[in-house]
């Protein structure tokens, strides 16, 4: 009749009413006690004494506090941080109104106000996606009888920007001694920024010439083989340490042997954006560290590597995500059609 669910160290009795799940909190008790309470609740349910059709009253601010605890338990640190920032935006733009007041009209009003602030549709959609997930949880936790439909803004599809071989070489040439190894690793691995900063020497197998990449975004890992340039760069970094913001290299100290890219005292590097932007200006190109990820994937595709292999190297969970790299440069397309047998 009802199921027993453990959530946030508390037991809940979950009933199905009119096709919807209704949660009743039992509390932080042992499983034996929770089962006893569950049986009593089932008896009350059969006698129609639980009033499960009634919705628990809660404001947006109160719900956000409860949702934060759920996010901390079930989501990665990076996702939690991003959602916390968005929740502050939701609070300041919607206000502390009853959660049931957030309907389709209220959401459209929110979209209009955010659009008037000249925000990009992609930015607004990220906020709406978090709100949608939150409201789905509110419905699951019996704070709403139904979830309002949230329609995301339309975003024109464009192929991701990637750098040419000449542009990447120019960027490496203009980079500082400290930044150059970072760019070389990025162009040969397609790592996300966070994956690069988390990279440790213990993740390198110099004998097998492979890298173990741990992704906090997908809670998974993948193996990337090292080509000659990547292998020689990491081998050099094992012995030497380029000082940040200085054109000077010293032997790597014991405290610097955990993270490949670290501060002089061995702490994990937080950012390299300022140095990267400076190198881009000198090279006369517009790019971000993520552009090198696009470049890695795009050049693999242009070299004839299949999308499934590219998916594995990038750490995508779905090949549909990798499909954005199916585009090729116009010159490459021209060369391929010239290969038709009747030309």
- pLDDT (average), residues 108-112: 94
The rounded distance, in Å, linking the Cα atoms of 135 and 132 is: 5
Which residues neighbour 110 within 8 Å (Cβ) at sequence distance 6 or greater?
93, 94, 131
Of 266, 226, 228, 225, the closest CA to residue 244 belongs to 266
Q: Is 8 in the same domain as 135?
A: no
Computed over every residue of the chain, the mean pLDDT equals 88
Q: Is 232 in the same domain as 306?
A: yes
Of 29, 338, 295, 314, the closest CA to residue 159 belongs to 295
Range of the domain at 18: 2-46
Least confident among 131-140, 214-223, 244-253: 214-223
Q: Is 39 in the same domain as 80?
A: no
| DSSP structure class, residue 50 | S
Q: Is 109's pLDDT higher than 70?
A: yes
Q: Is 30 in the same domain as 88?
A: no
Joined together, the tokens standing for residue 317 give 């969970």
Whether residue 193 lies inside any domain: the answer is yes
Q: Is 19's pLDDT higher than 70?
A: no
Q: Is 67 in the same domain as 18?
A: no
Using CB atoms within 10 Å of the CB of residue 274, give its burial: 0 to 12 exposed, 13 to 18 middle, 19+ buried. exposed
Which residues neighbour 321 within 8 Å (Cβ) at sequence distance 6 or greater?
311
Q: Is 218 in the same domain as 185?
A: yes
Domain boundary among 105, 140, 175: 140
Contacts for 157-162: CB closer than 8 Å, 24+ residues apart = 159/324, 159/327, 160/294, 160/298, 160/324, 160/325, 161/287, 161/291, 161/294, 162/291, 162/294, 162/295, 162/297, 162/298, 162/299
- pLDDT (average), residues 85-109: 93
Domain CATH number, residue 200 = 1.10.443.10
Q: Is 67 in the same domain as 129?
A: yes
The count of other CB atoms within 10 Å of the CB of residue 25 is 14
Whether residue 279 lies inside any domain: the answer is yes
Whether residue 7 lies inside any domain: the answer is yes
Q: How many domains does the chain have?
A: 3
- pLDDT (average), residues 301-329: 84
């Amino acid at each position: 009749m009802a199921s027993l669910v453990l959530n946030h160290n508390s037991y809940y009795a979950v009933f199905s009413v009119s096709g919807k799940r209704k949660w009743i909190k039992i509390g932080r008790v042992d499983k034996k006690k929770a089962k006893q309470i569950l049986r009593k609740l089932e008896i009350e349910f059969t006698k129609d004494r639980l009033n499960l059709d009634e919705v628990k009253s809660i404001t947006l601010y109160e719900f956000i506090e409860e949702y934060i605890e759920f996010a901390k338990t079930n989501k990665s640190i990076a996702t939690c941080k991003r959602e916390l920032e968005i929740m502050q935006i939701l609070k300041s733009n919607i206000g502390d109104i009853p959660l049931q007041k957030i309907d389709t009209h209220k959401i459209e009003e929110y979209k209009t106000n955010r659009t008037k602030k000249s925000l990009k549709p992609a930015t607004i959609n990220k906020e709406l996606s978090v709100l949608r997930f939150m409201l789905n949880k509110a419905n699951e936790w019996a704070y709403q009888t139904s979830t309002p439909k949230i329609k995301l803004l339309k975003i024109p599809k464009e192929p991701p920007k990637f750098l040419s071989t000449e542009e990447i070489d120019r960027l490496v040439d203009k980079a500082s001694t400290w930044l150059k190894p970072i760019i070389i690793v990025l162009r040969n691995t397609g790592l996300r920024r966070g994956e690069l900063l988390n990279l440790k020497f213990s993740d390198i197998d110099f004998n097998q010439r492979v890298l173990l990449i741990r992704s906090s975004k997908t809670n998974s890992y993948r193996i990337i083989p090292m080509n000659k340039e990547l292998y020689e760069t990491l081998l050099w970094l094992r012995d030497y340490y380029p000082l940040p913001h200085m054109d000077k290299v010293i032997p790597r100290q014991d405290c610097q042997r955990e993270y490949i890219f670290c501060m002089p005292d061995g702490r994990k590097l937080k950012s390299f954006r300022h140095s990267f932007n400076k190198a881009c200006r000198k090279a006369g190109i517009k790019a971000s560290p993520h552009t090198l990820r696009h470049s890695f994937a795009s050049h693999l595709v242009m070299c004839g590597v299949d999308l499934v292999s590219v998916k594995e190297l990038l750490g995508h969970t779905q090949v549909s995500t990798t499909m954005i790299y199916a585009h090729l440069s116009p010159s490459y397309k021209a060369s391929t059609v010239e290969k038709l047998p009747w030309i």
